[in-house]
């Protein structure tokens, strides 16, 4: 599936929720199902700065596609990561670089997009894109 198609799918899923409670409960549940990062990648250098909770992200390249795994010590943050990974993982690096993130607004999580927000959603997206840029450079 393309990034755009996955984003559309998410927008569809989130449109079924009537209020914030359902939305957050879903994110919490997503957080619980997040495939965890391998313990050996939970290193200081894999921590994303700018988050009140700890976030680790690991990336690797398989068949010209970038695969992300991640973890956090806070469950809502994990839910947000799960959404990002669903959108961006196993995609071609150039597609990750080109992707926009307007869907976050559309699924009602706009408040997490503020750069000063302590969960660092913006830092996470930036980090995923940085990995994509690095791998794209290798492909070139």
Partner 1 sequence: MFQVEDIRKDFPILQRKVNGKPLVYFDNAATSQTPQHVIDAIVDYYSNYNANIHRGVHSLSQEATDHYEEARLKIQKHFNAKETHEIIMTSGTTHGINLVASGFTSLLKKGDEILVSALEHHSNIVPWQMLCERSGAILKVIPMNDEGELVISAYDNLLSEKTKLVFVNHISNALGTINPIETIIKKAHVVGAAVLIDGAQACPHIKADVQALNVDFYVASAHKMCGPTGVGMLYGKEEWLNKLPPYQGGGEMIAEVSFEGTTYADLPHKFEAGTPNICGGIAFGAAIDYMNAIGFEEISAYEHELLEYATKQLLEIEGLKIYGTAKNKTSVISFNLKGIHPYDIGTLLDKMGIAVRTGHHCAQPIMDYFKIPGTVRASFAFYNNKQEIDALVEGVKKAKMMLS
Binding of residue 47 to partner 1 (CB under 8 A): no
Binding of residue 2 to partner 1 (CB under 8 A): no
Binding of residue 24 to partner 1 (CB under 8 A): yes
85, 65 contact by CB (below 8 A): no
Least distance from C-beta 106 to partner 1, angstroms?
Answer: 18
Q: What angle, 0 to 180 degrees and rounded to 10, lies between the N-to-C axes of helices 20-33 and 75-88?
A: 70
Six token digits for residue 134 = 């690095």
Least distance from C-beta 48 to partner 1, angstroms?
Answer: 14
22 alpha-carbon distance from chain centroid = 20
- Residue of 75, 97, 113, 122 that binds partner 1 (CB under 8 A): 75
Binding of residue 46 to partner 1 (CB under 8 A): no
Binding of residue 26 to partner 1 (CB under 8 A): no
The residues annotated as belonging to the active site are 51
Rounded to 5 degrees, φ, ψ at 48 are: -90, 125
């Amino acid at each position: 599936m393309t990034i755009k198609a996955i984003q559309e799918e998410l927008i569809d899923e989130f449109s079924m929720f009537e209020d914030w409670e359902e939305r957050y409960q879903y994110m919490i549940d997503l957080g619980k199902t997040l495939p965890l990062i391998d313990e050996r990648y939970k290193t200081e250098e894999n921590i994303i700065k700018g988050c009140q909770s700890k976030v680790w992200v690991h990336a690797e390249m398989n068949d010209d596609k970038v695969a992300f795994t991640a973890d956090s010590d806070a469950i809502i943050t994990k839910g947000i990561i799960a959404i990002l990974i669903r959108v961006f993982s196993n995609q071609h690096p150039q597609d990750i670089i080109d992707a926009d993130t307007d869907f976050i607004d559309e699924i009602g999580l706009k408040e997490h997009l503020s750069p000063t927000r302590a969960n660092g959603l913006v830092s996470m997206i930036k980090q995923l894109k940085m990995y994509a840029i690095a791998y794209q450079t290798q492909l070139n």
